[in-house]
Structure 1
Amino acid sequence: MPLGLAARTRTALIALAPGLGLTLAMALGAMALARGLGVAALTPMGIAMLGGVALRNLTALPARFEPGVAFTLKRILRAGVVLLGFRLTLGDVAAVGAPGVAVIAVVLGATFVFTKALGRAMGVERGLAELIAAGTSVCGASAVLAVNTVTRAEEEDVAYAIACVTLFGTLSMLGFPLLANALGMDAAQYGLWAGAAIHEVAQVVGAAFSQGEAAGQAGTVAKLTRVMMLAPLILVLGGLARARGGAAGGRAPAPWFVFGFLAAVGANSTGLVPAAAHPPVAEATGLMLTAALAAMGLGTDLRKLRLKGLRPLLLGAAGWLFISSLAAGLVRLV
């Protein structure tokens, strides 16, 4: 390795170490606590998420932790999602089927249109309403950041939308498992519901796997199908922005981690992955995703919800209730 590259790598690792170490420590602690308590509803991912939110909002987290926390939320999360593919086969993916894909597409489109229209009626700024609509209908903070490449909203709007969708996605992650039995859904139905309605990838994983392996697999596949619909949404929004005369130089991001996930599924389906490798891969996956939930909590500043007043928060709540109820109804139909 060239000397200059080695020095830059060492500097980068030193910058990442505090935040990365914190999220991994929180993940290990959450996993140990969940095993010790033995309560099904208290999953390691849920504990890590709540712990991160509490730590961020009750203490002043030093700035030196931020690079590692951001790295965990972006890179470690996506690596964990790729590893999830080694727990699935092509038969599991096909189980979602055309009806499942149709549910996901209808829920996404209807939620986006509903939230944008309601935002206009409520007097919420167009850019902020569009970001909340994208985060609610597609994939949380990632969709907010991606859609903002064409929406060009203010930085405060981006921060508010991320905080808003993270809050309601967290409520879904904690509440959906409690509603699963009351709604009479089987594992596949519950997983499809979680994947079609919950905001973030990590939140879907936390909620879906809390109801077992089959629900977790269905939720993961459904959610990643939904994530892949982000690119066409951005292309449509970019075209509308150009039609309005706005600057829309953003490009639809390639969800490479989704393709990595599909490659892992393909490798597992062909028998290339030995059975002995499955347990350690599952442990690594759980640790990565739990650390990502801790990072998400550490990045959730509830005070940001006060920056724009109550109306955008009510808009986020309405979108959350809309997508949850619509997805549940359609899942029961199919």
Structure 2
Amino acid sequence: MIMYSQQTHLIVRKVIFLTAAAFALISAAPTALLIGIVLAQSIAHPYPQSSQKATHILLKLSVIGLGFGMNAFSAIQAGKEGLLFTIASIFGVLTLGYFIGRRLKIDFKTASLISAGTAICGGSAIAALSPVMKASEKQISVALGTVFILNSLALFLFPAIGHWFHLTQQQFGLWCAIAIHDTSSVVGAASKYGDQALQIATTVKLARALWIIPVSIATAYFFKTSKNQLQFPYFIMLFVLAMLASTYIPFISKNSHHMTTLAKGGLSLTLFLIGSSLSFKSLKSVGPGPLIQGTALWMIISVLSLYAIVTLT
């Protein structure tokens, strides 16, 4: 009887989860994230391990799909404009993160993962660097939890702030790429602001993500780790190929809107899966120290980059 009751309960949770996922698929990015967060507080996740794997795969496929809706010449121009901001912000955040982590007495690996996640590309940077520095599951989960909490806030706050300051599409796209941690939230926030903002944000963010490579190499030397554990973000190369195909192949360019529509649906589903993992229990496990460090870094880079972009562009 107990066995039957547990199986029935699991089936009900699966049905609710899959129904919510279907709604998220056709929803805007912020709405999809909100559906996931609400669901996480309501029921236990029926697919915890599969969801994590699906999130990584879906995000990469969605980013590649967005490449079909972009022009290579516009992307190169956006990348040039964002290069100086990218270099300054990455080194600035990594340096600040070290001193803030020491001040708050956060263990070095956790503080380093949070700093790298804020400086480069959120969860992807944490996932790439954690095996290099031999971080524990606890350290990884705390860093990821911190980044995902702030990512969720950014997805709702940034478009509102952008409209408040009357940012142009170009300014907002650049600001998103610099000040929001994870690629999924960058693309989600920019897509809500406009198509030009989306193109600029995606291009600059992926160029920023390539900094995983030199940072990983430096981390490997510091922790004396084998270079075999370094991870290269190959999906960025596929994004570039998709963008080149859309620019130079007329048939693909003519039908690119189908790919971008699918990509945006995949992004919404990705954000739903991220939100569905942010239960109160996972949020509570982060603790005040790492959250203070992550919030301080995020606020500093957000304010300074916004000021620089508004002043210089």
For the residues of structure 2 that align with 1:218 and 1:20, how far apart are their CA atoms?
Answer: 38
TM-score (norm 2): 0.89
For the residues of structure 2 that align with 1:280 and 1:92, how far apart are their CA atoms?
Answer: 20
For the residues of structure 1 that align with 2:68 and 2:125, how far apart are their CA atoms?
Answer: 25
In the alignment, structure 1 residue 30 sits paired with structure 2 residue 24: yes
Q: Tell me what 2:303 maps to.
A: 325
- CA gap of 1:23–1:105, structure 2 versus 1, over 3 A, is farther
- CA gap of 1:71–1:309, structure 2 versus 1, over 3 A, is closer
**Matching residue's letter, 2:89:** V
- CA gap of 1:156–1:183, structure 2 versus 1, over 3 A, is same
Among 84, 90, 106, the residue aligned to 2:72:
90
- CA gap of 1:155–1:278, structure 2 versus 1, over 3 A, is same
**Matching residue's letter, 1:139:** C
Give 1:135 deviation, angstroms. 1.1
**Matching residue's letter, 2:90:** L
Q: What stretches of structure 2 of length at least 5 have no aligned partner?
A: 1-11
Among 43, 54, 66, the residue aligned to 2:38:
54
Q: CA RMSD in A?
A: 2.3
For the residues of structure 2 that align with 1:89 and 1:19, how far apart are their CA atoms?
Answer: 43
Give 1:23 deviation, angstroms. 7.5
Give 1:25 deviation, angstroms. 4.9
Q: Secondary structure at the match of 1:300?
A: coil
Q: Tell me what 1:156 maps to.
A: 138
The answer as to whether partners of 1:150 and 1:250 remain within 8 angstroms in 2 is: no
Q: What stretches of structure 1 of length at least 5 have no aligned partner?
A: 1-17, 35-43
Deviates more, 1:126-135 or 1:304-313: 304-313
**Matching residue's letter, 2:35:** G
Q: Tell me what 2:232 maps to.
A: 254
Deviates more, 1:189-198 or 1:149-158: 149-158
Give 1:67 deviation, angstroms. 4.1
Identity among equivalent pairs (%): 25
For the residues of structure 1 that align with 2:174 and 2:18, how far apart are their CA atoms?
Answer: 29
Count of residue correspondences: 301
CA deviations over 1:192-218 (Å, ceiling 9, x no partner) = 100111111110111001111001111
The answer as to whether partners of 2:145 and 2:286 remain within 8 angstroms in 1 is: no
**Matching residue's letter, 1:295:** L
Q: Tell me what 2:121 maps to.
A: 139
The answer as to whether partners of 1:107 and 1:323 remain within 8 angstroms in 2 is: yes
Deviates more, 1:301-310 or 1:68-77: 301-310
- CA gap of 1:121–1:273, structure 2 versus 1, over 3 A, is farther
For the residues of structure 1 that align with 2:70 and 2:156, how far apart are their CA atoms?
Answer: 24
Runs of 4+ in 1 over 4 A off after TM superposition: 18-25, 247-250
For the residues of structure 2 that align with 1:196 and 1:297, how far apart are their CA atoms?
Answer: 22
For the residues of structure 2 that align with 1:23 and 1:261, how far apart are their CA atoms?
Answer: 30
For the residues of structure 2 that align with 1:19 and 1:80, how far apart are their CA atoms?
Answer: 27
In the alignment, structure 1 residue 216 sits paired with structure 2 residue 198: yes
For the residues of structure 1 that align with 2:100 and 2:118, how far apart are their CA atoms?
Answer: 13
Among 63, 67, 88, the residue aligned to 1:81:
63
CA deviations over 1:76-122 (Å, ceiling 9, x no partner) = 21011101111001112122143311101211111111112110111
- CA gap of 1:266–1:276, structure 2 versus 1, over 3 A, is closer
Q: Tell me what 2:155 maps to.
A: 173
Give 1:301 deviation, angstroms. 3.4
Alignment of 1:1-334 (within 5 A): 25-30=19-24, 32=26, 34=27, 44-62=28-46, 65-242=47-224, 247=225, 251-307=229-285, 309-332=287-310, 333-334=312-313
For the residues of structure 1 that align with 2:180 and 2:218, how far apart are their CA atoms?
Answer: 23
Q: Secondary structure at the match of 1:153?
A: coil
Q: Tell me what 1:12 maps to.
A: none
Give 1:127 deviation, angstroms. 0.9
Give 1:250 deviation, angstroms. 5.7
The answer as to whether partners of 1:131 and 1:147 remain within 8 angstroms in 2 is: yes
Q: Tell me what 2:8 maps to.
A: none
Q: Secondary structure at the match of 2:63?
A: helix
The answer as to whether partners of 1:114 and 1:319 remain within 8 angstroms in 2 is: yes
The answer as to whether partners of 1:20 and 1:72 remain within 8 angstroms in 2 is: no
TM-score (norm 1): 0.83
For the residues of structure 2 that align with 1:142 and 1:221, how far apart are their CA atoms?
Answer: 16
For the residues of structure 2 that align with 1:218 and 1:240, how far apart are their CA atoms?
Answer: 34
